[in-house]
Structure 1
């Protein structure tokens, strides 16, 4: 494991419903009083700063790192020479959370839940992954991991995640 903070990754093909499900899971975890962090992995080169804003202007001028700070939020924009490893992000920035939810990272050795929709084909991205802990989808793929329907009550999904990751909360 990367840190003492429990981590679970939602994986699956594009348009399988990962983000929609993660949003529901985050809301339920917050209702239970947990501090939740998320990391979204993408293969695309994205610019996360807003064009025209002062922080963007700082970056455009050549700053290698820009931090935006307000009374209750902060954001870091940093140029990297190489891909930042998941372990480094977790240990550097996310050590004080109750759970970390990832979207993607299908090749990392961490617990994964595959979101599987038959309309996207019958092939799963992590079918043979030893770290696959469950499948959430529109059809049970008949595997040796728990299956929950995509339309299941999100509380059941969160109960499963918390049980698997051994997260105890008294709310």
Structure 2
């Protein structure tokens, strides 16, 4: 089975991960790639609101509920364990050329860390944390001495070049 490559965009809270993804995704799309994203939420979320038909379907026992409209589809499914990015990429996101995650910093997948000096003194990859072993680049507003390539926060084209070369996209 051909699996989509997974790249995790990680960083401390309020480091600019979403803002950077808002720059990187259009750059990858301009290159003709089908891009899927996964937002990791360690605290849980709810899009199935009480009283709505989909909520009522789940409340009465449906294991999965799919909501479809002419321009989008959403799936709500209970799981026994938190799905790994590779499980999502192989099933729900198999159509994508690349899967970008926001989060999953403890995964073994390649990671780009986003660091904003106005919020945190040093990036995760400068700390002695084995979970950061797969950081392949740092996107930052402040040059930091680390052993990976550094990119400015507005250099989505440079990061996209590196990503496309890494995954041969």
Give the TM-score band, short-chain normalised.
Answer: 0.7 to 0.9
Equivalent position to 1:155, from 147, 153, 157:
157
The 1:121–1:70 alpha-carbon spacing in structure 2 relative to 1, beyond 3 Å, is closer
Distance 2:147 2:125 in 1: 13
Q: Are residues 51 and 31 of structure 1, via their aligned partners in 2, closer, same or farther at CA, if it must alter by over 3 Å?
A: farther
Match of 2:144 among 141, 145, 148: 141
Matching residue of 2:65: 66
C-alpha separation between the residues in 2 aligned to 1:28 and 1:51? 38
Change (3 A) 1:53 1:31: farther
TM-score of the pair, normalised by structure 2 = 0.87
Write out per-residue CA displacement over residues 21-43 of structure 1, whole angstroms, 9 at most, x where no aligned residue.
Answer: 11221112112211111011111
- What are the Cα deviations for residues 95-146 of structure 1, in whole angstroms up to 9, with x where unaligned? 2211110111111111101001112222322335331110001112111210
Structure 2 portions without partners, runs of 5+ = none
- 1:80 alignment partner in structure 2: 79
Is contact 1:18-1:103 (8 Å) kept? yes
Structure 1 stretches of 5 or more lacking a match?
none
The 8 Å contact of residues 106 and 126 in structure 1, kept in 2 or not, is answered as no
Q: Deviations over 1:67-97 (max 9, x none)?
A: 1123443211011222222222121122221
Question: Cα 1:159–1:50, aligned 2, differ >3 Å: closer, same or farther?
Answer: farther
CA distance in 2, matches of 1:57, 1:3: 37
> What SS does the aligned partner of 1:102 have?
strand
Q: What is residue 108 of structure 1 aligned with on the other side?
A: 107
CA contact (8 A) 2:36 2:100 kept: yes
Q: Which runs of 4+ in 1 moved over 3 A?
A: none
Taking the aligned partners of 1:157 and 1:13, their CA distance within structure 2 comes to: 19
